[in-house]
Amino acid sequence: MTEVWDAYDENRNLIPGKTIIRETFSTADDFHLVVEVLLLHGDNAVLFMHRSSEKETFPGYYEATAGGSALKGENSETAVRRELKEETGLEADRLQLLYQYSDPKYHAHFDHYLARTGADKDQVSYQKGETDGHVWVSPEELADFLDKEDVLPANVTELKILFGLK
């Protein structure tokens, strides 16, 4: 299925009537919107999804964020809720925008969220070819987990900042 994204200028302004096709996207195109979300349970445990060995980048690593590109017509919050549901099977009870930045190298505007859920921890689902497992990590176990497991480097940095770890 072809993904179609809304086009934005470098200042995050939507370009009315202009779209980008994922399959033909290049960094010569306008910008598109990308969302990522870190999910915490009510007990502050962090959800880590285990990336499939079929993944081209970082196969077998743990990933603490769900996310992807906003589809045509989606705003940031709608996109992040959809991505979270698609990638984990869970829904956010609360959602907070943590920060935004733009990366001209990738022609993307990034919105990073923190979400909380009270869902049953066993109700996590996986995307074939994307993920094949998960683990919830308590704040007390987080530093040890980050030191011992293969976790996406960007997630390690973000989690250390958010949880005040060295």
Please answer whether residues 49 and 140 qualify as being in contact, where contact means their C-beta atoms are separated by less than 8 angstroms. Answer: no
Question: pLDDT tens for residues 83-100?
Answer: 999 999 999 999 999 999
Token pair in block for residue 35: 């969302």
Helix or strand holding residue 155 (H, E): helix 153-162
What pLDDT, on the 0 to 100 scale, is given for residue 96? 97
Residue 92 lies in domain: 4-162
Q: What is the CATH number for 154?
A: 3.90.79.10
Number of domain units in the chain: 1
Low-confidence spans in the chain with pLDDT less than 50: none
User: Which pLDDT belongs to residue 126?
Assistant: 96
DSSP letter for each residue of 2-49: --EEEEE-TTS-EEEEEEEEGGG--TTS-BEEEEEEEEEETT-PEEEE
